[in-house]
């Protein structure tokens, strides 16, 4: 599933292509036909990402809300608009560009009240300037759940996915099983600042890199990582391989229904 940095990149991309323009919206597949009718012919005022949720705000207090889930995908381009192929949920045309959306978990039109309700359910998004790490910390401190699970809980931290959760805990030298209630305010601030910096870099690069300069392939004279997720990481999907810092074999285990990776020596 895409992590928050991908959704923020999409929001920026769609703002660049469509903001300020009147667009036509339809649903060649039909499943979003009623929603499309509510926004077609309106001006797209702005776009916004909140965690893994994407919003297109239209004039007239209507917002398109998209959650890509596991299979959702956007494509865009310049006219001619391609003939619809396959299950095309939503198509938007305007401002000299077209946009296609396939396979999302959510694609719906909301009014401002419904947007507010959805946002109220979400935790703090490290990529947003209005995020407050202390609000997230209040939830962390009050919980006996492992910090790994809390990082993945979208009602605590919005936008953090599996790769960032695993990597930020390695970088903090923190055991992923550490209970939230045992995380100090200073430790949380450190995790938050690191997560924010890593995710901002992810937005800029379009991939997730988490290794310090000393552990890049060039610095270590090792082959670059080969993985469909790309990016240089410490532990994510490296089970059995030597830790880039200490050489200990990276471990993998299930936690909170997700794959946890850690170095038993660096994260005691």
Which residue's CB is nearer to Zn ion, number 99 or number 169?
Answer: 169
**Of 207, 222, 246, 258, which one interacts with Zn ion (CB under 5 A)?**
246
Beta strands across the sheet bearing 44-50: 44-50, 53-58, 62-67, 106-110
**Of 38, 122, 245, 256, which one interacts with Zn ion (CB under 5 A)?**
245
Q: In the annotation, is 2 catalytic? A: yes
Binding segment toward Zn ion, per CB under 5 A, in 80-88, 97-105, 125-133, 237-245: 237-245
Q: Judged by CB under 5 A, does residue 263 bind Zn ion?
A: yes
**Of 92, 157, 243, 260, which one interacts with Zn ion (CB under 5 A)?**
243
Which residue's CB is nearer to Zn ion, number 79 or number 247?
Answer: 247
User: Shortest approach of Zn ion to residue 248 CB, angstroms?
Assistant: 5
**Do the beta carbons of residue 127 and residue 200 sit within 8 Å?**
yes
Closest-CA residue to 13 (of 25, 5, 22): 5
What is the C-alpha to C-alpha distance for residues 201 and 5, in angstroms, rounded to an integer? 9
**Do the beta carbons of residue 123 and residue 157 sit within 8 Å?**
yes
**Torsions phi, psi for 67 (to 5 deg):** -120, 120
Q: Judged by CB under 5 A, does residue 220 bind Zn ion?
A: no
DSSP bridge pairs for 115: none
Closest-CA residue to 171 (of 197, 149, 153): 197
Catalogue the E-assigned strands of 158-268: 251-255, 258-262
Binding segment toward Zn ion, per CB under 5 A, in 77-85, 152-160, 188-196, 240-248: 240-248
Q: Judged by CB under 5 A, does residue 101 bind Zn ion?
A: no
Which residue's CB is nearer to Zn ion, number 241 or number 248?
Answer: 248
By annotation, the residues acting in catalysis are 2-3, 52, 258
């Amino acid at each position: 599933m895409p992590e928050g940095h991908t959704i923020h990149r999409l929001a920026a991309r769609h703002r660049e292509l469509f903001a300020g323009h009147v667009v036509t919206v339809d649903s060649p597949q039909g499943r979003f036909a009623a929603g499309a009718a509510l926004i077609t012919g309106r001006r797209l005022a702005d776009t916004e990402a909140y965690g893994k949720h994407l919003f297109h705000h239209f004039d007239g207090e209507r917002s398109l809300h998209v959650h890509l889930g596991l299979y959702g995908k956007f494509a865009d381009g310049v006219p001619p608009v391609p003939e619809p192929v396959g299950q095309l949920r939503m198509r938007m045309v305007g401002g000299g560009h077209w946009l296609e959306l396939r396979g999302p978990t959510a694609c719906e039109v909301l009014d401002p009240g419904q947007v507010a309700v959805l946002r109220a359910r979400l935790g703090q998004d490290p990529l947003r300037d209005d995020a407050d790490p202390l609000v997230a910390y209040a939830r962390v401190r009050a919980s006996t759940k492992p910090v790994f699970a809390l990082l993945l809980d979208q009602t605590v931290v919005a936008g953090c996915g599996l790769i960032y959760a695993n990597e930020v805990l390695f970088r903090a030298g923190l055991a992923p099983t550490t209970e939230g209630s045992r995380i100090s305010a200073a430790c949380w601030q450190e995790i938050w600042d690191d997560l924010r910096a890593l995710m901002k870099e992810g937005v800029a690069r379009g991939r997730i890199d988490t290794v310090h300069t000393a552990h890049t392939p060039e610095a270590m004279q090792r082959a670059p990582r080969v993985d469909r997720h790309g990016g240089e990481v410490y532990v994510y999907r490296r089970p059995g391989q030597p830790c880039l810092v200490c050489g200990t074999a990276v471990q993998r285990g299930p936690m909170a229904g997700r794959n946890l990776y850690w170095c038993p020596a660096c994260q005691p």
